[in-house]
């Protein structure tokens, strides 16, 4: 019987592990086969406090993991296959065993929706990104493309104009889907241009992105453009498939939190991007992980009275 099991090993889950471990709760982290969250796919991180020269994303994750293990957290690099939150103790089925626990922190994160191109995947962290706030600075005085036409894509493109010389929005339709105010901002920005009725065909480069092939959907014509970065902004998907029917989710699949980190099931807590679809930053995820850990500590203390 575990005191607390943490599902997820990004900033939120590992921060929660540090705090619960220091509270002598001996947390167990179900890290997932692809551990580390979004930071594991990132190269340089320059906006995480405490690292004035920046730090590599995987290095930052490894540092937080080792810090949690120093205080007694255990780490399983397996996936949670299913959960049963219908009664106590809570049950979590992994690929190898069934685990029982008094409390759970869900920090399974959200995944960027990618186009699925082989070249796109090859250049993630090497010029291909899904987060302008995270990586925009690296493209100062450079040229980038943004894939998408909704509010998120237009917001990313507008943000990128603070750094990049030119931002090209590539959209499959002949008109944007974004709200009117966001459209007006983009259409009036001299740094932003558009490739309408177009799709990303291929990302080009050797070690880093040097260009893209853009295909016009109507004519079939393929154009090659020299470019330094590609920002894919077609949405995020919360990693909540195994929690459907177990706890309350919103219409987009994000976990609904009440009273900070509590979910609809007493004893189940949530932290990070699996709940937060607004900020999606490493530091905000870490902060939510801290909150969830403190809430779990209070919950277990009151349960034992």
The tens digit of pLDDT for each residue in 234-261 reads 988 999 999 999 999 999 999 999 888 9
Q: Write out the DSSP string of 223-274.
A: EEEE-SEEEE-S-EEES-GGGTTTS-B-TTSPBP-BTTTB-SSTTEEE-GGG
Complete domains list, the chain, with CATH: 2-112+236-303 (3.50.50.60), 118-232 (3.50.50.60)
C-beta of residue 230 within 8 angstroms of C-beta of residue 244: no
Is 277 a residue whose pLDDT tops 90? no
pLDDT at 7: 97
For 258, half-sphere exposure in the C-beta direction (CA atoms, 13 angstrom radius) is 10
pLDDT in tens, 198-241: 999 999 999 999 999 999 999 999 999 999 999 999 988 999 99
Q: Write out the DSSP string of 137-183.
A: GGGTT-EEEEE--SHHHHHHHHHHTTT-SEEEEE-SSSS--S-HHHH
C-beta of residue 132 within 8 angstroms of C-beta of residue 169: no
For residue 92, give both structure tokens.
């979590």
For residue 200, give both structure tokens.
């990303």
Q: Mean pLDDT over all residues of the chain?
A: 93
Tokens 């590599």 correspond to 56
For 212, half-sphere exposure in the C-beta direction (CA atoms, 13 angstrom radius) is 27
Neighbours of 295 (CB within 10 A): 20
Tokens 């016009």 correspond to 216
pTM beyond 0.85: no
C-beta of residue 248 within 8 angstroms of C-beta of residue 256: yes
First to last CA, the chain: 18
For residue 259, give both structure tokens.
């009273």
- Looking at per-residue pLDDT, the higher value among 113 and 191 belongs to 191
How far is the C-alpha of 236 from the C-alpha of 220, rounded, in Å?
28
pLDDT in tens, 148-176: 998 889 989 999 999 999 999 999 999 99
pLDDT at 133: 83
pLDDT in tens, 129-149: 998 888 999 999 999 999 999
pLDDT at 37: 83
Is 305 a residue whose pLDDT tops 70? no
How far does CA 41 lie from the centroid of its chain?
10
C-beta of residue 186 within 8 angstroms of C-beta of residue 178: yes
Q: Which residues are catalytic?
A: 131, 134-135
pLDDT band at 178 (very low <50, low <70, confident <90, very high): confident
pLDDT at 34: 75
CB-neighbour burial class of residue 229 (10 A; exposed 0-12, middle 13-18, buried 19+): buried
For residue 100, give both structure tokens.
């029982």
pLDDT in tens, 4-46: 999 999 999 999 999 999 999 999 999 987 788 878 877 778 8
Q: Write out the DSSP string of 2-50.
A: EEEEEE--SHHHHHHHHHHHHTT---EEE--SSTTGGGGG-SEE-SSTT
pLDDT at 152: 83
Rg of the chain over all Cα atoms, to the nearest angstrom: 21
For residue 276, give both structure tokens.
């937060």
């Amino acid at each position: 019987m575990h005191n607390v099991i943490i599902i997820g090993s990004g900033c939120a889950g590992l921060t929660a592990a540090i705090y619960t471990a220091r509270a002598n709760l001996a947390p167990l982290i179900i890290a997932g086969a692809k551990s580390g969250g979004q930071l594991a796919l990132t190269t340089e991180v320059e906006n995480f406090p405490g690292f004035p020269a920046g730090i590599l994303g995987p290095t930052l994750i490894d540092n937080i993991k080792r810090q949690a293990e120093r205080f007694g957290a255990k780490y399983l690099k397996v996936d949670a296959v299913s959960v049963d939150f219908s009664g106590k103790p809570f049950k979590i089925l992994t690929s190898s065993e069934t685990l029982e626990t008094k409390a759970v922190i869900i920090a399974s994160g959200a995944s960027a929706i990618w186009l699925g191109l082989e070249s796109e995947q090859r250049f993630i962290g090497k010029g291909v990104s899904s987060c302008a706030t995270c990586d925009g600075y690296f493209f100062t005085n450079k040229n980038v493309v943004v894939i998408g036409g909704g509010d998120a894509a237009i917001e990313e493109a507008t943000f990128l104009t603070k750094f990049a010389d030119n931002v090209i929005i590539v959209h499959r339709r002949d008109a944007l889907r974004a709200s009117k105010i966001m459209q007006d901002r983009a259409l009036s920005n001299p740094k932003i241009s558009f490739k309408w009725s177009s799709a990303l065909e291929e990302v080009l480069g050797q070690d880093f992105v040097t260009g893209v092939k853009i295909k016009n959907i109507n004519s079939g014509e393929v154009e090659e453009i020299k470019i330094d970065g590609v920002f894919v902004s077609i949405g995020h998907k919360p990693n909540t498939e195994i929690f459907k029917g177990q706890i309350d989710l919103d219409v987009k699949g994000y976990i609904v939190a009440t009273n900070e980190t509590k979910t609809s099931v007493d004893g189940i807590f949530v932290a990070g991007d699996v709940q937060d679809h607004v900020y999606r930053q490493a530091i905000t995820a870490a902060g939510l992980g801290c909150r969830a850990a403190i809430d779990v500590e209070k919950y277990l203390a009151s349960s034992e009275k």
